[in-house]
Amino acid sequence: MRRFPADFRWGVSTASYQIEGAVDEDGRGRSIWDVFSHTPGTIARGDNGDVACDHYHRFREDIALTRDLGVGAYRFSVAWPRIQPEGRGPVERRGIDFYQRLVDELLDEGVEPWPTLYHWDLPQALEERGGWRVRDTAERFAEYAALVHDALGDRVTWWTTLNEPYCVAFLGHATGEHAPGAREGHGALAAAHHLMVGHGLAVRAMRAQQRGEEKFGITLNLSDVTPASEDPADLSAAERLDLLQNRVFTDPLLGGTWPKGEPEVWSQISDFGFRDADDLALIRQPLDFLGVNVYAPAYAKYAPTADPDPAFRTAADIDVERVAPAELPRTAMGWPVEPAAMTRLLRRLDEDYALPPVYITENGAAYRDVVDATGSVPDPERIEFVDAHLGALQAAMAEGVDVRGYFCWSLLDNFEWAYGYAKRFGLVYVDYDDLRRIPKSSYYWYRDMIRAQRAG
């Protein structure tokens, strides 16, 4: 049995649009994911998040599963359109009340709430005003953050501003895979910047309201980037992919600098005119913790973009193809499995920056889970995946990286964005016909592992 410090925090993670459903109830406004998921051709099998796991009505059942799992913390996200249906203006009291009930239930069950203020469901009304491409959205985000913090700050200690700004900025505004489905150059880079500005403004606004020992952080999805070969072209490709995936966010947040190499990569599509002189200081608010989501390594191979004309290039067109060694196993998402990449990533972060305490806020895998004849859901591959990554985490900690917790993604099977309901990440199987919850083998393994840690 692997051993972690006695105060190591164990948890599970979820996200609002992926599990809540109830998209038209209690005054909730439309989000960009409501619009995107109902646009033909965007989501596998035409799925959408209208019902999802119906967590909005079944949250007590799901919290009971969390309690029985034995984790000390539950990471969830707040749906901005439930709080401010138009992204600004009057607060929808029924939306705030839902999260108050959720937090109270968690605390009653002995589980620590870890809210994330933004996990991708931007109010559609703000998108129609420019979305994350414009600074006004960052300012509206700070106002929204202050509203939620004011309502819950007396009971909630751990606050995360954004989840995975890389996905919001580049999958949402460059590749078009995620909402709002844009394929842009300057606009995607502006979105990345304004997300960081919004984070800084939100932290500043919440600290101004601080009543106790609240902790403020952000969650980034980062990847260890390795050149596919020693060819100079692949070495350069790896630097560009590291810039796109990691350093656009880590350098200003943790290092207080704009990333080197940006002009060479993007000068043909953007003049970076969206930056103000004091933005670096604003973005680099002191962090009490850094959340890191880790799923797969990235191997970079030089591959020229099909259309070299800058007028048609997006911010993701950086002449790089993501590849991986053929011998690495793959998840149902097609992602390569290499636990040692987590160790390399954490070690490099620790070498490059003065890190605050680190929490692995998401780590998990999708596999082809089925209910067997006994009514059980065996998932040995997921158990092996999590166990191996916990070993990689131990290795990083042994080298001095200050990691203080691990959250498995995810508690429940859920709406997996562009993949709809075709991919399952949960420790708990959800039957989408009747919404029954069936704990998988990995649920019981994780429970027993946590119990053994606490037993010493």
Residue 308 has pLDDT above 90, yes or no: no
How is residue 143 written in tokens?
Answer: 């106002």
Q: How far apart are CA 379 and CA 399, in angstroms?
A: 31
In three-state secondary structure terms, 281 is helix
pLDDT in tens, 252-284: 999 999 999 999 999 999 999 999 999 999 999
CA 37, 40, 45, 46 torsion-angle sign: positive
**Mean pLDDT in residue range 193-207:** 98
Residue 76 near residue 14, CB atoms below 8 Å: yes
198 Ramachandran zone, left/alpha/beta (phi>0; psi -120 to 50): alpha
Measured CA distances, 307 to 175, 189, 272 (Å): 14, 19, 22
> How does strand 298-302 pair with strand 320-323?
antiparallel
- pLDDT tens digits for 400-440? 999 999 999 999 999 999 999 999 999 999 999 999 999 99
Measured in degrees and rounded to the nearest 5, phi and psi for residue 260 equal -65, 145
DSSP-derived 3-state class of residue 217: strand
Sign of CA dihedral 159, 252, 10, 3: negative
* Selection from 12, 16, 77, 94 nearest residue 406 by Cα: 12
Three-state SS for 419? helix
Q: How do residues 93-107 score in pLDDT, each as one tens digit?
A: 999 999 999 999 999
Residue 190 reports pLDDT greater than 80: yes
Q: Which residues contact 62 (CB under 8 A, 6 or more apart)?
A: 19, 53, 55, 411, 412, 437
pLDDT at residue number 405? 98
pTM above 0.95, yes or no: yes
pLDDT over 80 at 386, yes or no: yes
Assess whether pLDDT exceeds 80 at residue 371: yes
Stretch 122-131: mean pLDDT, rounded? 99
For residues 55 and 376, what is the distance between their CA atoms, to the nearest angstrom?
22
Residue 310's pLDDT band (boundaries 50, 70, 90)?
confident
Find all residues with CB under 8 Å of 48, minimum gap 6, and list them: 34, 37, 38, 415, 420
pLDDT of residue 140 exceeding 90: yes
Distance in Å from the first CA to the final CA of the chain: 10
Q: Does the pLDDT at position 289 exceed 90?
A: yes
> How does residue 46 score in pLDDT terms, banded at 50, 70 and 90?
very high
The pLDDT tens digits for 209-257 are 999 999 999 999 999 999 999 999 999 999 999 999 999 999 999 999 9
Contact predicate 55/66, CB 8 Å? no
Quote the CA–CA distance of 4 and 456 in Å, as a whole number: 9
Query: Tokens 């749906």 appear where?
Result: 79
Q: Which residues pair with 9 in a beta bridge?
A: 405
**Per residue in 343-367, pLDDT tens?**
999 999 999 999 999 999 999 999 9
Using the predicted structure, report yes or no on whether residue 1 has a pLDDT greater than 80. Answer: no
Residue with tokens 């290039």: 313
Cite the active site residues.
Answer: 164, 362
DSSP string, 105-152: HHHHTT-EEEEEEESS--BHHHHTTTGGGSHHHHHHHHHHHHHHHHHH
What is the reported pLDDT for 311? 86
Reference 226, options 217, 215, 218, 237; nearest CA is 237
The stretch 367-395 carries a mean pLDDT of 98
Residue 122 is encoded by which pair of tokens? 């931007």
